[in-house]
Each structure stands twice: as structure tokens, then as C-alpha cells.
Amino acid sequence: GFDDCKFAICTYHPVTMEDGGIEKDIDEFLKAIRLFPNIDFIITKSNADQGGARINQLLDEAGKEITNLHVFSSLGVRRYLSLMKYAEFVLGNSSSGIIETPAFGVPTVNIGNRQRGRLQSESIINCASDMQSICAAIEKAMTTEFKEMSHKVISPYGDGHAAVQIAQKIADTVNDSNIDLKKKFYDE
């Protein structure tokens, strides 16, 4: 239902291992969004972790005030991934920005520490949770050079064909080996 526009997909989850700060983090996140009125921000609501309901409440309230902010409970997998393919970037702290987004060649702005320790491709820009850091990361993600680089990254999570490769390896092993697949019974 959107007109042709530049848009970003966003998801912001609570950071369960850090003390408080949800209101401050979301305030900084929303301040950054306000500074990019030429981009529509499509936000999917937070998960059910402690603090998620508060984040969703803050996003719903902001969605009534910020004209380029569109808040959805869920988009479903097909819509979410279809939008991801055409997004300018993915913004937030969700694992989808780390795992799925690089496979689409789309930049990710990963906010804060929630995804610390995960394998990451070069198309991911990590930033702090303050407005200035988020804005600087968005500006970098929007550059032609960074977008072109993002289209060429190789995801550390594979190319989406793991199931085919696993099935082929199993078939090759069974066909090329002298594996006896008959049940064996043992008397004690």
C-alpha cells in the first residue's frame, strides 16, 4: 500500500542483558528517524522479551506523530523478506539484519550490543544507540559506495542452498560407500 518511495525496514528488540534504558534507547532511535524525512521507516514490533511491550507502546505512540513512520505488529515472512529485498537498508537490533539481510545485498545498521558475538558480513554497520551514531551509520549505509559493496558481500551464513548441499552429500555418501543400511539385531 505504499507509493514508490525510499524505505527502510526496522525492528528494535529489548536488550535483555542490559539494565533499563528502553525509553532512552527508543527516544534516540526515533530522533534519528525524524532526521530522515525522505525515507519511510517500516517498523515491525518488538518480540515478547521483557521490555518488548513498552517498546511497542512507544512505537505506536510515535507512529501517530511521525508521518514517515509506519508500525506493524508483523508483516509475515513473505512480505518482510520481499520488502527487505528492495529496502535502502535494515535498521535496528534484530538478528534478521545480521543473518538474512546480507543475502539480499542490502546494508544493515545494527544498533547497540544485542547482536554482539555473531558472525557478521561487511555489509553491517555497527553503531551505538545514541542519535548521532545511528544517523552517521544511516548516512554511511545510504552512500553509493556502501550499497555497491553490500551487493557483493558473501554472507557467513551461506547462500540459502544448504538443504540441497546437505541432501547431495548424504546421497553421495550412501551411493559411494559400502554402508550397510539393514537393521542389525544383537543377542546378548
* Backbone φ and ψ of 62, nearest 5°: -65, -35
Query: What is d(CA 73, CA 48) in angstroms, rounded to the nearest whole number?
Result: 12
pLDDT at 148: 97
Give the three cell numbers for residue 141. 549505509
Encode pLDDT of 122-148 as tens digits.
Answer: 999 999 999 999 999 999 999 999 999
CB atoms within 10 A of CB 30: 22
Mean pLDDT check: name the lowest of 64-68, 72-76, 152-156: 152-156
pTM: 0.82
pLDDT at 47: 85
Let me know: does 131 contact 91? Beta carbons within 8 Å.
Answer: no
Average pLDDT over every residue of 77-84: 92
Average pLDDT over every residue of 180-187: 70
Let me know: does 134 contact 25? Beta carbons within 8 Å.
Answer: no
Distances 54 to 14, 16, 20, 47, 75 between C-alpha atoms, Å: 9, 13, 11, 11, 20
Encode pLDDT of 99-110 as tens digits.
Answer: 999 999 999 999
pLDDT at 19: 61
Using only the alpha carbons of the chain, give its radius of gyration: 21
Query: What is d(CA 43, CA 59) in angstroms, rounded to the nearest whole number?
Result: 8
Average pLDDT over every residue of 42-68: 90
Give the three cell numbers for residue 47. 518480540
pLDDT beyond 90 at 154: no
Let me know: does 26 contact 61? Beta carbons within 8 Å.
Answer: no
Name the residue with higher pLDDT: 1 or 170: 170
